[in-house]
Structure 1
């Protein structure tokens, strides 16, 4: 069977066999790696552009104090970078130790000895999450714009009914 014959043959939903094969190819791990790499690259580039534009704005707004923050002097014994790194270190230490103490306290207050027992105790205390089986709404979207349109029309119809 030639490629032209495959394109002309459609299944019940109106998609060709080639389109179905393309959808199956998207689920391969190689394509997931590419998608992850693409999104990570976009995020990294965006962060660098935002950081650079913020630095440029700070330098443009007050160049005298900007230059004083780069090099330590008698007036400022610590540079801005050193101060920021120290603040990041203390903030990370407080966040990790505070969350660790909170989680350890919850663990001890529950009286559990292992994770299975903790899971069962928390399952009996916390409310149950209802299953959405079968799904009540749409679960497949062609793209982000389709999802946003669905959410906006669903929200506007539910708020107008109230």
Structure 2
């Protein structure tokens, strides 16, 4: 009886974890997409505001020598650059994954954790951790450096 209750509880917990992960991925993907859209839009708006005449010439192919407009060339360059970046990073990360020999993410995390140096915990803190402002922080860093240099 207890075993079946434990299995049901484990299944519910796993389902909640999966739902949380899906929601987290959707949230971060939407935030990144919206940020990219806002950044690109603001850059285009700044370019148009800076020089309207040449911006409009780049939107429409005006001379007979130009087969494509500047905007079409820019979109083509952006799409090829995006393809190269995603492909290159994907191949790099997949290669690192395969070289590690890991079967899942948790195993990969442990293997990488063993290979990288350990960062010692600062518990209890050996120095100041609270500062009243950026000037206080810089003064503290300058004083610490001068003490270490002596």
**Does the alignment reach a TM-score above 0.5?**
yes
Q: What is the alpha-carbon root mean square deviation over aligned residues? A: 2.9
Q: Distance in 1 between matches of 2:70 and 2:108?
A: 45
Count, aligned residues: 111
Q: Is structure 2 residue 62 aligned with structure 1 residue 69?
A: no
Q: Which has the higher contact order (CA 8 A, sep 6+)?
A: 2
* Equivalent position of 1:115 in the other structure: 105
Pairing partner for 1:130 from 120, 124, 141:
120
* Equivalent position of 1:154 in the other structure: 140
Q: Which has the higher helix share?
A: 2
Structure 1 runs not aligned, ≥5 long: 1-39
* Equivalent position of 1:100 in the other structure: 90
Which consecutive segments of 4 or more residues in structure 1 shift more than 2 A? 50-59, 65-68, 134-142, 158-161
Decide whether the 8 Å contact of 2:48 with 2:55 is kept in 1: no
After TM superposition, give the deviation of residue 102 of structure 1 in Å. 0.6
After TM superposition, give the deviation of residue 127 of structure 1 in Å. 0.6
Pairing partner for 1:80 from 53, 70, 80:
70
Pairing partner for 1:57 from 37, 46, 50:
50
Structure 2 runs not aligned, ≥5 long: 1-33
SS at match of 1:76: coil
After TM superposition, give the deviation of residue 53 of structure 1 in Å. 4.0
* Equivalent position of 2:81 in the other structure: 91
